[in-house]
Amino acid sequence: MEGIKDDVGHVPLLEAEEEEEEEEGRRPLRLRGSYLGIFGSTVFLVSMAALIIYQGHDYYDEAKIENKGNNNNNYNKVPRGVAEGVSAKSNSFLSETTPSYNWTNAMLSWQRTAFHFQPERNWMNDPNGPLFHKGWYHLFYQYNPFSAVWGNITWGHAVSRDLIHWLYLPEAIVRDMWFDINGAWSGSATLLPGGEIVMLYTGYTHQQVQVQNLAYPADASDPLLLNWVKYAKNPVMVPPPGIGPNDFRDPTTAWFGPDNKWTLTLGSMLNDSGLSLVYKTTDFINYELNDHFLHIVPGTGMWECVDFYPVSINGSVGLDTSANGPGVKHVLKASLDDTKLDYYAIGTYFIENDTWIPDDPDLDVGIGLRLDYGKYYASKSFYDQNKQRRVLWGWINESDSEVADITKGWASLQTIPRTVLYDKKTGTNLLQWPVEEIESLRLSSHEFKELLVKPGTVVPLHIGPATQLDIIAEFEIELLGSEGIVNNVEGCGVGAVERSAFGPFGILAIANDQLSELTPIYFRLSNHGNGTSTITTSTSFCVDETRSSKAPDVSKQVFGSKVPVLNDEKLSLRVLVDHSIIESFAQGGRTVISSRVYPTEAIYGAARLFLFNNATDINIKASLKIWQLNSAFIRPFPFHDTQ
């Protein structure tokens, strides 16, 4: 077949470097409160009285702005953001004895992606308020205009015609008022009838209290939405009694109900229980707090970046956020502050009292399914009325050191936008898939059919450059020897080096010829047998970063989860490779893993792609189609050009 040579004596993955892992961040101190009662306008006024009006702060007085980028200390005992009452925004995996790698400019330059969205420079985190307006997709995002580490958070802004080719715009919302002077944090957009747009976002006040603020376009007829106005009487929501001042953030898109009111939810906690508060409004200025939570799950800690939206159980298109009725389920997603993971569950929304329950309590929010099993957090979806689809964004942080980030001048990126659909086959999963527009970047392709990969072998795929790829692959299994083989090894194991009867097998991305650096993306099967026959009971889908880089100051983990594989399905995956990020989708997007890799040798022309089979008792037949991908040429908006 095209591009294939013999096994050339490659040895399977035999050893793994041990990596010591630590928690992503420490949990911040929490204020505890009693259970919420019924609240109305009186509660709001009492709460407002606790906030002393702030005057006279000049945001542009550089002496009053803390540029945290000047701190080159890798060994933060308390990660950035925790002291400010939000989730950790810096890595804490390094110990004081971890040596720093001598990164060259060439290595650091290679890490910057070609078609994933990231700002020109400096720090970025959560996606905010995505929307489609007058022919343009808008992405707002948490942004530090001064440094490549978290701090000084404003709203960055970019637009695109196709969700791929982005153009940078000036910042949309800056922290210049008492109610957001310590940070203009995450929020969501709601499109109103008649073309109006309202943006609700969390502000961190001069007294370090999280409040909700209203902003709107100065000119809604402007396709670029360049100028935004903050409501003069912000904040419009403040923490109610019983909720800590740092446990009240990230309002969702609002939905319109049969009571002719708009409803929204936001993240909070009571004791160790994560929850979502519900507010109602008719004008986005005055709000009533429901006496019921939308949902609460004990033991899950603070919920942030809550997302709530409907999915059709029969259709193949997305639904407007206000959709409800027969044939509709609702997805509730929360980003867990304690673990820095995004969990979701599918369930039923009871509109009469604005509560939601999961279809399966064992798969509730925070204890069941995750949107992404890799490096992924603070996701945000929106309904794209242009193409009738639900589109999901997610923040991908760095896994290297702050010193490296400051040296290269940027940190973090966003996933490729993903469409989201209900999985009609399983009834329990969402299906995430890269938006179709990514295919506009496809260049030359290579196709391979039924390549045989024997146990313990690695097969090179000669496709040319292997740094920007779109890979679609299917795998068939041929059992060797007795059908009574039992393989009870479940999960990802310690990585791709751990051999078992039925795995691991898959592809090696961003690898060099010597296989001294590589990132395996693989399946591992397990079963239970009675001595005469075997039944496959589970399939795990995994990404192993442990040998992705020789640099010691990089977090290298094994990510993965079980993935449902139905009887009529082949094992299948899709992988997007873009320099230092790899996004992997198994079984049509039932399980997704995003990973960051920082090779020192497998870069530029040295990056290769391989098939591998490290199982002991099966042959693998692999069929693949692989496209080279172009750059998206993300750049500043060309205001000087004629539109």
Spell out the domain ranges in the chain.
Answer: 121-434, 440-629
pLDDT given for residue 98 in this prediction: 77
Which of 29-33, 80-84, 204-208 shows the highest mean pLDDT?
204-208
Query: Kind of pairing, strands 262-270 and 505-511?
Result: unpaired
Residue 488 pLDDT grade (very low, low, confident, very high; cuts 50, 70, 90): low
Residue 295 pLDDT grade (very low, low, confident, very high; cuts 50, 70, 90): very high
Residue 463 has pLDDT above 60, yes or no: yes
3-state secondary structure of 463: coil
To the nearest whole number, what is the mean pLDDT of the chain?
88
For residues 82 and 138, give the distance between their C-alpha atoms in angstroms, rounded to a whole number.
Answer: 29
Residue 22 has pLDDT above 90, yes or no: no
Long-range contacts of 28-33 (CB under 8 A, 24+ apart): 28/82, 28/83, 28/85, 28/86, 28/246, 28/337, 30/244, 30/246, 30/247, 30/269, 30/302, 31/244, 31/245, 31/246, 31/247, 32/244, 32/270, 32/271, 33/241, 33/242, 33/243, 33/244, 33/270
Pick the CATH number of 121-434 from 1.20.1440.230, 1.10.340.30, 2.115.10.20, 1.10.3720.10: 2.115.10.20
pLDDT given for residue 614 in this prediction: 97
Closest CA to 378 of 307, 429, 433, 272: 307
Residue linked to tokens 């002077």: 181
pLDDT given for residue 87 in this prediction: 64
For residues 554 and 375, give the distance between their C-alpha atoms in angstroms, rounded to a whole number.
Answer: 13
- What is the average pLDDT across 67-87? 55
Residue 503 has pLDDT above 60, yes or no: yes
How many residues are recorded in the chain?
643
Residue 57 pLDDT grade (very low, low, confident, very high; cuts 50, 70, 90): very low
Query: Which tokens belong to 274?
Result: 């994560």
Residue 270 CB partners (closer than 8 Å, separation 6+): 32, 33, 35, 36, 242, 243, 296
pLDDT given for residue 418 in this prediction: 98
Residue 484 has pLDDT above 70, yes or no: no
Residue 565 has pLDDT above 90, yes or no: yes
3-state secondary structure of 247: coil
- What is the average pLDDT across 69-77? 42
* C-beta atoms surrounding 19 within 10 Å: 17
Closest CA to 590 of 429, 376, 408, 396: 429
pLDDT given for residue 489 in this prediction: 74
Q: Name which residue leads in pLDDT, 512 or 77.
A: 512
Residue 180 pLDDT grade (very low, low, confident, very high; cuts 50, 70, 90): very high
Residue 91 pLDDT grade (very low, low, confident, very high; cuts 50, 70, 90): low
Q: What is the pLDDT of residues 143-168, one digit of tens each?
A: 999 999 999 999 999 999 999 999 99
- What is the average pLDDT across 588-604? 98
Residue 255 has pLDDT above 90, yes or no: yes
Amino acid at 110: W
Which H or E run contains 405?
helix 402-408
Whether residue 235 has a cis bond before it, omega within 30° of 0: yes
- The C-alpha angle with vertex 310 and arms to 305 and 314, in degrees rounded to 5, equals 145
- What is the average pLDDT across 460-468? 97
Q: What is the dihedral of CA 256, 262, 268, 274, to 10 degrees?
A: -30
**Percent of the chain surpassing pLDDT 70:** 83
Residue 389 has pLDDT above 90, yes or no: yes
pTM above 0.85, yes or no: yes
Sign of the Cα pseudo-torsion (16, 20, 23, 24, in order): negative
Architecture of domain 440-629: Sandwich (2.60)
Residue 373 pLDDT grade (very low, low, confident, very high; cuts 50, 70, 90): very high
Residue 11 pLDDT grade (very low, low, confident, very high; cuts 50, 70, 90): very low
Query: Kind of pairing, strands 635-636 and 166-173?
Result: parallel
Q: What is the pLDDT of residues 319-334, one digit of tens each?
A: 999 999 999 999 999 9
pLDDT given for residue 413 in this prediction: 98
Residue 432 pLDDT grade (very low, low, confident, very high; cuts 50, 70, 90): very high
pLDDT given for residue 535 in this prediction: 58
pLDDT given for residue 301 in this prediction: 98
Residue 88 pLDDT grade (very low, low, confident, very high; cuts 50, 70, 90): low
| CB burial of residue 59 (10 Å; 0-12, 13-18, 19+) | middle
> Catalytic amino acids?
126
pLDDT given for residue 150 in this prediction: 95
